[in-house]
Structure 1
Amino acid sequence: MKRKILWVLVAVLLVGGLIAYLKSRPEPADTRYSGAYVLHDGLFVFVAPREGRALRFRTMAGESGALWPTGANRFEGGKGWAERGPAYNTFTFEMDASGKPVALVWEQTGLEPRRASIVKLPEQMATFQSGELTLHGKLVMPATPCPCPSVVVVHGSESYSAVEHYAEPYIYAANGFATLVYDKRGTGKSTGKYSQNFRVLAGDVLAAVNWLRDQPGIDANRVHLAGFSQGGWIAPLAAARDANIKSVLIGYGPMVPVTGEDRWGYVYALHEKGFGDEAVAQADQINDVISDIFDLGANRWNELAAMLDESRDEPWFAAVKGSDSLLGMVADSRMPLWMARTYLWWKHGRDNPPFIDRLYDPVPTLAALNSPSYWILGGADSSMPTEWTIEQLEKLQKRGKPIDYLVYPDADHGILRFETGKDGSRTIIGYEPDYFRRQIDWLKRTDL
């Protein structure tokens, strides 16, 4: 009897675990509607998955929004970038007999409905090798005659599938550039272990470039790279290894080591809450110890514990809790340091190559790069230190390096416009109006 009860309990636990897994598993992205559409006035509208069955749209004029399914081929979303309601945008897709979209009707509160026809951009799913790994990609070709210039999109830090979610292939292809996007290792349908090691990922970029150059209709001498956020570390590193890269476009990427970006997380939080240089200096002292432990393997755990105990009642300490930084995580964590030490060793202590090189300095890489680069930055970026990046870019400009940059003073990370609430929170309302056009214009100038 006891054995039967035991087996019943085991079965219940297994079934319960399976149900929990199925409920927590991300819903597959709905890619049926992905593509470029064009309105009667020539404005492009780009559609790609947001998450699960939800979609996100973008226009060349910077307008953007999220959409959720409300009926057969019908989606609605609120006015902001992530609000579900009240409904402001409604997209109804017209499908052909095979279930593929041919057009969409865009209804927007206060405006007459507008119809946009699908732009026929040939797509090719692909796989290619990077060492022992197989990477999964998608090549989107322009509707114009080729051979064509091309862009390889360099994945950011996200762990989701770029092939399914990125809209950039349609943005660039609709404007004349063949575009390859691929799932970084350990994401989507690509094999391997997810990593943020820039040198390793730069090798994957070059594998993508080499595959692309061999494809029909591609001008092998006109391959550009476009890297966003973390891709801003990786794309220049890849281009520095390949003298034939035509140009490098960087969106909201950093020109500081990861440690500098990490420091910006708590510096930004302190400044936003009214603290000055003295508070930053106190936070820096603890952060230096954390960095020695995390980046150099130094045994300063007892020193860290003492510093944390001394600082917990300081007003600035509460301000850094939860900030986008290691210090913010440590300050906000209830995990005992001995447990954090064990977790750190288990999580990254055995990685070879390292999961991430936080001490990698991107300045020497860009200094050695002869391909032109264009940096598009947000002056109100809460994730990346724009001011520190500009300092480095201007130093290299004075040395004659082919570098341009553009700053949108009021844009956050992603070159996103926002409205600030009374509590200081930001509500995203779309991209800067000419952000996509600026990318295309610069790529075309450097492609000559």
Structure 2
Amino acid sequence: MKRVITVALALVVSVLFSVTAPPLARASERGPGPVPAPPGLTSAEVSFQGFGGLTLHGSVLAPAKARGPVPGVVLVTGSGAGVPREHLRTEAVEFARRGLAVLIYDKRSKGYSNLRRSYSELADDALGAVGALRARPGVDPAKVGLWGLSEGGWVAPLAASRSANVAFVIVVGGNAMPPIRQQVWNETSGLRRAGVSGSLVDRAKPGLARLGADAGLFAEAFFDAQGVLERVRQPLLGVWGGRDLQTPPEDNPRLFAQALRRGGNAHYTFRFFPGADHAAHMTADGGETRGEALAPGYADFVVSWVRDATGGRLPAAPAAFTSPIGADQDYPSKEVSPSPWWASGWMQLAAFVLFVVAFTGYPLTALVRRLRGRSVRPVSRWARLASGAGITAVLGLFVYMLYLMAAGRWPDPGPVLGGRPLPWLVLQALAVATVAATVATGVAARTAWRSPAATVATGERVRIGLLVVAGVVFVPWALYWGLLVP
């Protein structure tokens, strides 16, 4: 049954989530190849086994002249299938220049797509990389930890919670909230910066994310980040850029602290770098594009923290959490709960089918009758408006949401009037017209059918009745999506 709803709902919303098919299974995955060693560093190729026996490949950058075994760190990248190791070359080089052995590897694409991904599998990949780095000559195996960026901020703590071989955890632009909450914040804050407020961001965006999760198109939507952090026993460093526009930089530290404290772990440190973006790179436009250079002092701080954390000088967080200094979060994030039963994927699909059948069936029936030369006087002219406005509002909602998602991370919602984009105002006007026309149609039909002289065919009663039922169901549906809410 779950497969049925997944396939059915995918026909409606898969385009909205840019669905791509996963690649063919392979026993080994290799990216562009080795990362050359800059002066003063060495570069060595490594291979290791990830989840399911998949062979992954990477490069280890390390100081060319080190005095004794050095601490090591495995870098876990953010979202995307098959992200090449080169993506984290800047971080790897800067950390290695300061005395760490750094492993960067090509991310898997097998089993990873917009439709399917598993943080558990990615965590096993990361643990395979930890094992490979621990086995390298010149690396102190007791001082190897994990660094995770963005999506890696969910993966690295999960891996650490499974293995005592992980000495520490660093998250950059990480989240202690479910992915669905982070994603909705990311999308709605972009619209808010464009001047949008009201039901489009408060109802429609969260509703679409929940629908995607119901349809199986939002993998790991409700991943239990808090539960994972409660099981992390290693010291943890959280790093956020003050102009992180993808992850809420003020909300997450408090959530990290709460979860770690519940698990009995007070060995954590949070640091903010003003003017830096999601990846702690400097940004020249307020966080919208990623710069090449790391934030000043970031690499020094990370390496110093690692040396302390692995040298017996564990960080000690204050007993009371204090608000972050240096973060600049424009809008708060909000919890996004799973769909209630009455708004579940099944109910959304049923409502959509009803709207298509009823709203399009009314004019199509009239057209067929006309072509057959059987003209029937309509019970009410309002029925035409209910039919036309209803189907336009339903299809228009999904078309507009598709446009917003296809427009990229920072969409142009169109002209904004009083906090509402013009296309959204048009959809809301159509929704109001649908409700008003449905009421008028129902009243007219009731009056006409009660007349002693009325001779209404059964087919016409079914046609009007179905239209009115669709109009009635349209009311809670439109309220849920925000079309009837300011």
Equivalent position of 1:264 in the other structure: 185
Match of 1:166 among 66, 76, 88: 88
Partner residue, 1:156: 78
Tell me the TM-score normalised to structure 2 length.
Answer: 0.51
Larger radius of gyration: 2
Q: CA deviation at 1:133?
A: 0.9
User: 2:47 is matched with which residue: 127, 130, 137?
Assistant: 127
CA distance in structure 1 between the partners assigned to 2:141 and 2:68 by the alignment: 12
Deviation at 1:217, TM superposition (A): 2.8
**CA displacement, residues 173-202 of structure 1 (integer Å, 9 cap, x when unaligned):** 22222121111112xxxx665564211100
Specify the alignment match of 1:203 in structure 2: 124
Matched, 1:240 2:161: yes
Which residue number corresponds to residue 273 of structure 2?
408
Give the residue type in structure 2 aligned to 1:133. L
Q: State how far apart, in whole Å, the 2-side matches of 1:193 and 1:375 are.
A: 26
Aligned partner of residue 260 in structure 1, secondary structure: helix
Structure 2 residue runs without a partner (length 5+): 1-30, 312-486
In the alignment, which of 57, 66, 70 is matched to residue 144 of structure 1?
Answer: 66
Instruction: Provide the residue aligned with 1:35 in structure 2.
Output: 37
The answer to whether the 8 A contact 1:155-1:162 is kept is no
> 1:416, CA displacement in angstroms?
3.0
1:437: how far off? 1.2
| Aligned mates of 2:97, 2:234 — CA distance in 1 | 24
In the alignment, the residues of structure 1 paired with residue 70 and residue 126 of structure 2 have an alpha-carbon distance, to the nearest angstrom, of 19
Q: Is the 8 A contact 1:152 1:225 kept in 2?
A: yes
CA deviation after TM superposition for structure 1 residue 139, in Å: 1.8
- Output the CA distance in 1 between the equivalents of 2:180 and 2:103: 31
Partners of 1:153 and 1:181 within 8 A in 2: yes
> What is aligned with 2:305?
442
Per-residue deviation, 1:227: 0.9
* Equivalent residue runs for 1:346-357 within 5 Å: 356-357=219-220
* Distance apart, 1:124 and its partner CA: 1.7
CA contact (8 A) 2:78 2:148 kept: yes
What SS does structure 1 have at the residue aligned with 2:250?
helix
Q: Spell out the pairing of 1:371-382 with structure 2 (5 A cutoff).
A: 371-382=234-245
- Determine which of 207, 232, 247 is the counterpart of 1:289: 207
Kept in 2: contact 1:419–1:429 (CA 8 A)? no
Structure 1 residues 385-396: aligned runs within 5 Å: 385-396=248-259
Say whether 1:417 aligns with 2:282.
yes
Question: 3-state DSSP class of the match of 2:271?
Answer: strand
- Where 2:272 maps in the other structure, the secondary structure is strand
- TM-score relative to the length of structure 1: 0.55
Report the Cα offset of residue 369 of structure 1: 0.5
Q: Deviations over 1:314-360 (max 9, x none)?
A: xxxxxxxxxxxxxxxxxxxxxxxxxxxxxxxxxx67xxxxx831110
The number of residues matched between the two structures is: 274
Q: CA deviation at 1:418?
A: 3.0
8 A Cα contact 1:378 1:411, kept in partner = yes
- SS of the equivalent of 1:376 reads strand
Q: Quick one: structure 1 residues 132 and 257, their matched pair in 2 at CA, closer, same or farther if it must change by over 3 Å?
A: same
Looking at structure 2, the residues matched to 241 and 427 of structure 1 have their Cα atoms a distance apart, in angstroms, of 33
Matches within 5 A, 1:21-170: 34-36=36-38, 118-119=39-40, 121-130=41-50, 131-142=52-63, 143-159=65-81, 161-167=83-89, 168-170=91-93
Distance in 2 between residues matched to 1:429 and 1:213, nearest whole Å:
30
Q: How does 1:172-251 map to 2 (within 5 A)?
A: 172-186=95-109, 196-251=117-172
Q: How far apart are 1:367 and its partner, in Å?
A: 1.5
The change in CA–CA distance for 1:164 and 1:269 in structure 2 (over 3 A counts) is: closer
CA distance in 2, matches of 1:122, 1:433: 24
SS at structure 1 position matched to 2:283:
strand
- Cα deviation per residue 1:410-437 (whole Å; 9 max; x = unaligned)? 322122333349xx97684743211111
- SS of residue in 2 equivalent to 1:359: coil
The CA distance in 2 between the partners of 1:362 and 1:379, in whole Å, is 22
Distance 1:148 1:30 in 2: 25
Distance (whole Å) between structure 1 residues aligned to residue 69 and residue 229 of structure 2: 29
Distance in 2 between the 1:210 and 1:427 partners?
31
1:243 and 1:427 map into 2 onto residues whose CA distance is 34
Q: Which has the higher helix share?
A: 2
Partner SS state of residue 151, structure 1: strand
Looking at structure 1, the residues matched to 223 and 157 of structure 2 have their Cα atoms a distance apart, in angstroms, of: 13
Q: 1:263 to 1:127 in 2, by over 3 A?
A: same
1:367 to 219, 224, 230: 230
Structure 2 CA distance for partners of 1:434 and 1:363, relative to 1, 3 Å: same
CA distance in 2 between counterparts of 1:418 and 1:161 reads: 22
Question: Residues 273 and 298 of structure 2 are in contact (CA less than 8 Å); yes or no, is this contact kept in structure 1?
Answer: no
Aligned AA for 1:144? A
1:320: which partner in 2? none
Q: Percent identity?
A: 30
Residues 403 and 429 of structure 1, relative CA distance in 2, 3 Å threshold = same
- Aligned-residue CA RMSD (Å): 2.8
SS at match of 2:282: strand
Hey, what's the Cα distance between the residues in 2 that align with 1:193 and 1:383?
Answer: 21
Query: Which sections of structure 1, spanning at least 5 residues, go unmatched?
Result: 1-27, 37-117, 298-347, 350-354
Shift in Å, 1:263? 0.8
